[in-house]
Amino acid sequence: SQTIHQWPATLVQPVGSPLSLECTVEGTSNPNLYWYRQAAGRGLQLLFYSVGIGQISSEVPQNLSASRPQDRQFILSSKKLLLSDSGFYLCAWRPKRISYNEQFFGPGTRLTVL
Amino acid sequence: LAKTTQPISMDSYEGQEVNITCSHNNIATNDYITWYQQFPSQGPRFIIQGYKTKVTNEVASLFIPADRKSSTLSLPRVSLSDTAVYYCLVVGNQGGKLIFGQGTELSVKP
């Protein structure tokens, strides 16, 4: 069976510090991978998605970046965090099947920037 | 991308049937209608997907009229554990991107 891991679960970082969040998927190959952010309240914002190693599409301009160094590894980074980067970060994966739109989400990382 | 509109919140009582309607007037021919459920501090979970008419699974039913400009998620006999935010999404051939709106916060009371 497939599983998706994210770490850390919670993180408190000062403004201006760097960030690295990691997501890995097990039990599948060549998945589509996604990073979302959910600010206080509702609504998930798609940040990045990747259809393969080294292939990253950015959905919104920001001080965050993403990388996919391996097939089942997706990393979200920042060189200098802003207060507005606080939120709940979710990684998700989806198999590459036409008309199949179920995405599987990880447990999330709660980031607080102080 | 087709935009969706759904009520911000709904209240219900245990044992009742809950119907959440979503409008998506600009849905394209290749788009599917998908619903997700999210509990606090968890990632969303897929509930059901449909293209037209009616789809039913062990969790919910999805009703889609012929013009596909709206859809209704039906949750039979809700319980307290169904309290969550429910998202309606229209998903097409867009690289698998899901665009989440604000969702409907369902509160089930005893």
- Could you read off the pLDDT of B91-104 as tens digits, one per residue? 875 556 778 888 99
The predicted pLDDT at position B46 comes to: 93
The predicted pLDDT at position A89 comes to: 97
The predicted pLDDT at position B3 comes to: 84
Residues of chain B whose beta carbon is less than 8 angstroms from a beta carbon of chain A are 32, 34, 41-46, 49, 85, 89, 91, 93, 95-103, 105
Interface test with A, best of B31, B97, B102, B107 (most A CBs within 10 A): B97
- Lowest-confidence range among A79-88, B24-33, B69-78? B24-33
Whether B58 has a pLDDT exceeding 80, the answer reads: yes
Share of chain B above pLDDT 90, in %: 77
A98 and B95 Cβ atoms separated by less than 8 Å: no
The residues in A 3-42 lying below 8 A from B, measured between CB atoms, are: 32, 34, 36, 41-42
Side-by-side strand order, sheet with B84-91: B9-13, B104-109, B84-91, B32-38, B45-50
A26 vs B2, which has greater pLDDT? Answer: A26
A109 and A35 Cβ atoms separated by less than 8 Å: no
Helix, strand, coil share of chain B (percent; to 5): 5, 50, 50
- Of B21, B7, B5, B2, nearest in space to B90 by CA: B2
**Residues of A whose CB is below 8 A from B29:** none
Whether A2 has a pLDDT exceeding 90, the answer reads: no
- Is residue A99 very low, low, confident or very high in pLDDT (cuts 50, 70, 90)? low
pLDDT in tens, A6-65: 999 999 999 999 999 999 999 999 999 999 999 877 788 999 999 999 999 998 878 899
Interface test with A, best of B32, B86, B93, B98 (most A CBs within 10 A): B98
- The tokens of B106 are what? 């369902």
- Is residue A91 very low, low, confident or very high in pLDDT (cuts 50, 70, 90)? very high
Chain A CA closest to residue B89: A101
**Residues of A whose CB is below 8 A from B99:** 46
Name the residue among B34, B42, B103 with its Cβ closest to that of A101.
B34
**Residues of B whose CB is below 8 A from A103:** 44, 46, 96, 98
The one-character DSSP state at B51 is S
- Is residue A100 very low, low, confident or very high in pLDDT (cuts 50, 70, 90)? low
pLDDT in tens, B71-82: 999 999 999 999
The predicted pLDDT at position B2 comes to: 66
- Lowest-confidence range among A3-7, A101-105, B81-85? A101-105
CA distance from start to end of chain B: 39
The predicted pLDDT at position A10 comes to: 95
